[in-house]
């Protein structure tokens, strides 16, 4: 009850701080329906931050229509390999011609077009132009590569420590890594998979735990990464868990899915489709939980920060600006907790699903 009251209190504070923001946005929208309001610009900026991109944009001068940052390489396969820098698109303002093919950038995606950059739309205002195979180095790819390098350097240093002898203590970052490695082993792998079989799955469990953790942490930096908030990335991680379960599962696992022992035959026929469906709902829950939590966290943080810019010329709402900054700091601390928590939950659930698939089931003990 105490925690519920505390949660409601924080929720009420957030509503009070956002209420002026909503009312001002409504007034601005009524005043000018054609021109984008400040709230619409902020909403578009948040959406842009959550999406993948071909640019690192640090800040922009809207009056001069100039953006400061750097572009990333575009790699397309369309009647051959085409490589160029995203800066040639000029943030979607220009059409790029390569080997007689024309390409346009719109809403973060590259489409095939003509020399005039014509884009066709359907009744729902979706672009219908064909898209080339895109293997570009986007922000998410840079985030994954950066995380891989960080993990490689950290764990190579930790491995060298153990090569020197069992009694050597880790130094530097290894002192923080070792307790986390032991935590994954003792609190996730061994209890869920079993002492006799956990070792073969430790490399995978450690990989996803530290990959998600580091990606979540760099997502809180001003660099603008949102890798774990991309559903394609979380889908890929969930599929790895799914395939490991299917390829490592023993006969008891399949027996409990298709012909559950100790259950009447009519019930077996009813339960089999449900169990088969459960095979796919497990990775789906892993994918959706990580994606939704990280995306929601980034949206809340940027929304609270946006209140400062919305009221930057309004002296009567200085209190709202102060509250928004305090709430932003509070949410950032919560996001740090969520970064660890989501890495823990994904790894814990993966180890639990793997354990259900590889452990031997003794029916006589269950009934």
The answer to the question of residue 354 being in a domain is yes
The answer to the question of residue 29 being in a domain is no
Q: Report pLDDT for 183.
A: 93
Question: Does residue 237 have a pLDDT over 90?
Answer: yes
Whether residue 133 sits in one domain with residue 158: no
Q: Report pLDDT for 46.
A: 65
Whether residue 177 sits in one domain with residue 275: yes
Whether residue 119 sits in one domain with residue 264: no
CA dist 142 and 192 (Å) reads 34
The answer to the question of residue 202 being in a domain is yes
- SS3 assignment, position 127: strand
Helices of type H across the chain: 2-31, 38-50, 139-163, 174-184, 190-193, 202-218, 231-248, 251-258, 265-310, 318-358, 363-366
Q: Report pLDDT for 80.
A: 87
Whether residue 262 sits in one domain with residue 292: yes
Question: Does residue 235 have a pLDDT over 50?
Answer: yes
Whether residue 324 sits in one domain with residue 261: yes
Boundary residue ending a domain (137, 154, 177): 137
Whether residue 348 sits in one domain with residue 235: yes
Whether residue 94 sits in one domain with residue 228: no
pTM score: 0.77
The answer to the question of residue 268 being in a domain is yes
Domain that holds residue 120: 64-137
Q: Scanning the structure block, which residue is given the tokens 């390098």?
A: 149
Could you tell me which of 231, 236, 353 has the C-alpha nearest to residue 292? 231
CA dist 367 and 355 (Å) reads 20
Whether residue 182 sits in one domain with residue 254: yes
- SS3 assignment, position 246: helix
* Residue 70, CA distances (Å) to 88, 138, 301 in order: 11, 12, 24
57: which strand partners?
69
Whether residue 310 sits in one domain with residue 203: yes
Q: How does pLDDT run across 192-228, given as a tens digit for each residue?
A: 998 888 899 999 999 999 999 999 898 888 777 888 8
pLDDT band per the 50, 70, 90 thresholds, residue 25 = very low
Please provide the DSSP assignment of 58-123 as one string: EEEETTTTEEEEEE-EEEEESSSEEEEEGGGGTTTTS-EEETTEEEEEETTEEEEE-TT----B-T
Q: How does pLDDT run across 244-259, given as a tens digit for each residue?
A: 999 988 888 888 778 7
Q: Scanning the structure block, which residue is given the tokens 């928004």?
A: 324
Query: Domain total for the chain?
Result: 2
């Amino acid at each position: 009850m105490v925690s519920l009251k505390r949660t409601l209190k924080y929720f009420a504070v957030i509503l009070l701080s956002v209420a002026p923001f909503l009312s001002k946005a409504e007034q601005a929208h009524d005043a000018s329906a054609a021109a984008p309001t400040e709230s619409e610009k902020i909403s578009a900026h948040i959406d842009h931050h959550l999406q993948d991109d071909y640019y690192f944009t640090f800040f922009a001068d809207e009056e001069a229509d100039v953006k400061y940052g750097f572009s990333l390489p575009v790699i397309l396969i369309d009647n051959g390999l085409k490589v160029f820098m995203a800066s040639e698109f000029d943030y979607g303002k220009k059409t790029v011609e390569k080997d007689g093919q024309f390409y346009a950038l719109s809403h973060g995606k590259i489409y095939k077009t003509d020399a005039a950059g014509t884009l066709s739309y359907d009744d729902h205002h979706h672009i219908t132009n064909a898209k080339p195979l895109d293997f570009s180095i986007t922000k998410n790819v840079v985030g994954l590569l950066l995380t891989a390098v960080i993990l490689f350097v950290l764990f190579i240093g930790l491995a060298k420590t153990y090569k020197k002898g069992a009694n050597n203590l880790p130094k530097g970052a290894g002192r923080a890594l070792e307790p986390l490695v032991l935590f994954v082993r003792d609190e996730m792998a061994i209890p869920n998979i079993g002492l006799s079989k956990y070792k073969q799955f430790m490399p995978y469990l450690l990989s996803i735990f530290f990959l998600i953790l580091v990606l979540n942490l760099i997502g809180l930096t001003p660099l603008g990464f949102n890798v774990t908030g991309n559903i394609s990335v979380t889908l890929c991680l969930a599929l790895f868990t799914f395939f490991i379960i299917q390829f490592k599962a023993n006969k008891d696992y399949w027996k409990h899915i298709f012909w559950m022992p100790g259950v009447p035959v009519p019930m077996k026929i009813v339960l089999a489709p449900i169990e088969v469906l459960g095979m796919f709902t497990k990775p789906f829950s892993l994918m959706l939980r990580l994606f939704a939590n990280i995306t929601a966290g980034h949206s809340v943080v940027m929304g609270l920060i946006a209140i400062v810019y919305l009221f930057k010329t309004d002296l009567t709402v200085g209190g709202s600006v102060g509250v928004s900054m305090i709430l932003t700091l509070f949410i950032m601390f919560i996001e740090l907790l969520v970064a660890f928590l989501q890495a823990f939950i994904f790894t814990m659930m993966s180890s639990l699903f793997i354990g259900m698939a590889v452990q031997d089931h003794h029916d006589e003990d269950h009934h």
